[in-house]
Each structure stands twice: as C-alpha cells, then as structure tokens.
Structure 1
Amino acid sequence: MEEKNTYFGGFFKGLASLTTGLKTTMKEFFTPKITEQYPENRKELKMFDRFRGTLVMPHNEQNEHHCVACGLCQMACPNGTIKVTSETITTEEGKKKKILAKYEYNLGSCMFCQLCVNACPHGAITFDQNFEHAVFDRSKLFLTLNHPGSHVAEAKKAPAAEKPASDKAAAPKEKAE
C-alpha cells in the first residue's frame, strides 16, 4: 500500500526541514568569525602546504640546479606553458652532454595542475607559496627559471663588495706608514 501524504504529515515534514535549516543557521551565527586583513597581514600570511603558487627551479649557493633538460615537464604540460631549450656540449673527457640553456615558463597560461612537477624525475622544479601574480603587462608573466632569483645573486655580490671596501681602508693606512 502506498502512503498518501496527508495535510498534517506534509506540514510536520516541512516543519522538520525548517528546524534543520534554522539549526544550521544558528550554529554558524554563533561561531567566531575569522577575517583575514589581507594587505596588512601580508608578512605573516602563510598559505597551506599543498598550495600551488609559482613554478620555481631551486638553486643552491653555487648557482646549480638539478635540471638535466630532459623535457619531460614540457611534454607533460597540457597548456604548453613550459619551453625547455637545451644545448649539447663536449666534456673534458670527450663525451657529449646535454645541458639546460633556457627554461621558460608562462605563468599567465599555467593552470597549476602540477603535472610538470610530477613528471620531473630529478625534482628540479616545484611550486612555491607565492600567490601575488597581478601585473599590468602580460610580458612580466613570462619567466626564465634557470636563472636564480636576486637573493642568490645578491649573496654572491655582497662578499665581493666588502673586499674592495676593506682594501680601500687598508690603502690609506699603508700610505700613512
């Protein structure tokens, strides 16, 4: 036998649905609100660990990276945002070796799928936590990753800049003697 919806059955079913919705609304109404004051808290703002910001190629202190120019990341990219240019050189032993000449990345067409990072067998590329990508000129979204950022270049230039200053300070002392 089929149950027929009676007037009072439908009324109580609707009332139960209404109380379920009100219970959820009132629970959210009394929970503390969390508002990020974004431009002011930029320094201490930390994105979650799995966030994909900008594709980077980490370099060490000697300006070396792990990329061997195999091109697997370029083949795995569905949008064609990565372009790997390689050169073949001859080593001192007479063997031919393929090296990375230029690693170009188009941030404007990247969909942050992480297929390139997963395809890299050497772990040469990764995503960082940077999320501020707003620019007025699209040409600034074309990045060359095999050249390190300014922090590595500045670290190398700083000791070189200190030596001439100490040599200049020593020169007047020698003249005085």
Structure 2
Amino acid sequence: MAFLKNYIKEVFSAVRSSLKGMGLTGYYALHHKKEKITQQYPDNRDELILPERFRGEVVMLHDENNEHACTGCTACELACPNATIKIITKFDITPEGKKKKALDTFVYHLELCTMCNLCIEACPTDAIKMAQTFEHSVFDRNKLTKVLNKPGSKIKEGIE
C-alpha cells in the first residue's frame, strides 16, 4: 500500500511541476508578443551582443604601426594544457651588440584549443587576448592553424 501511495504522490508532483512550467511559458506567450524571446541566429548577426567574458579564440594585439607586445617568453605555451600554442623564437642583435630573444612565429592551433584562458592569464605583457569570434567551422582543417603575428610585425619599444 505504501508503494501505491508513493507512486500517486510522484505522479501528482510531476503533473504539478509540468503545470508550473507551462504556466511560465504561457505567461511569456501572452505578455511578450512583440518582444522576441528566441532569436534566429543568422538573422541576428548585426545586433548580436555577446557577453564581455565570452571566449572565442586567441588573437595577438597589434597597434597601428604593426607592433605587438609579445617577447617570445613562451609562458603561454607552457601554460597551455594541450599544446595549442607553439612559439618559434629567434635571436636578434641589439644596437649594443647583445643577443636578444625575439618572436619569429606565433602558431595557434584552434582545433586543439579548449578556450580555457590559461594562456591569456600567463602572458606577462598582455600580448594576447580572447576574441569574440565564434564562427569557426571550415571544410579544411588546416585553416584552423593560424599564425597570430602579422607579417613584418615587431615588438613595441620599451617591452623587455
């Protein structure tokens, strides 16, 4: 008898929960006819506003003179849990005649990235950030491997 009593109690609880949810749905259907609740994706690209903390893909910041802040320290490469970033460095000769490590190529494998943000947090010069792009589908997987430093770019003056 206790089994039957529990069963009936659970059925009524499920019906009550369903009615509560349908009441909320009905409220929005009746009171918000002009306001769009669900937006269709391709149609809303122009007015789409993503949250400030949205993580899209890693990008390297360049200024109007094609200068960046990356020193090639590899802190982001070491922080990445799945080898998404590969930094290739070279040695430049300074005017004083000393060798100085400089960034040659910053390779980013988007197909491996989990958007965990650890590389951004590890960067001591804030040279990279997460962009708000989210359309990453491509037919050719090789297009997901990107070189982030622009051709001919160099490090900003005063960054060590």
Bin the TM-score by the shorter chain: 0.7 to 0.9
Q: CA deviation at 1:113?
A: 0.7
Q: Give the corresponding residue for 2:42.
A: 39
In structure 2, the CA distance between the partners of 1:43 and 1:7, relative to structure 1 (3 Å rule), is closer
- Are the structure 2 counterparts of residues 7 and 45 from structure 1 closer, same or farther at C-alpha, using a change threshold of 3 Å? closer
Alignment of structure 1 residues 21-170 onto 2, 5 Å: 21-31=18-28, 32=32, 34-147=37-150
Give the Cα–Cα distance (whole angstroms) in 1 for the partners of residues 105 and 3 of structure 2.
Answer: 75
Q: Could you list the runs of 5+ residues in structure 1 that have no partner in the other structure?
A: 149-177
Matched residue count: 145
Query: Whole-Å Cα distance in 2 between the matches of residues 73 and 144 of structure 1?
Result: 15
Return the letter of the residue paired with 2:137.
A
Structure 2: gaps (5+ residues): 152-160
Q: 1:40 aligns to what SS in structure 2? A: helix
- What is the deviation of 1:10? 7.0
Greater relative contact order, per chain length (Cα 8 Å cut-off, separation 6+): 2
SS at match of 2:15: helix
Higher helix share: 1
Aligned to 1:159: none
CA deviation vs aligned residue, 1:29-63 (integer Å, no higher than 9, x gap): 32246121221221221211111111100100111
Task: Give the direction of change, closer, same or farther, for the CA distance of 1:81–1:8 in structure 2 (3 Å limit).
Answer: closer
Q: TM-score, normalised by structure 2?
A: 0.80
The percent identity for this pair of structures is 45
Distance 1:101 1:12, change over 3 A: closer
Cα-Cα RMSD: 2.2
Q: Identify the range of structure 1 (7-16 vs 40-49) with the bigger mean alpha-carbon deviation.
A: 7-16
Using structure 1 for the length normalisation, give the TM-score. Answer: 0.73
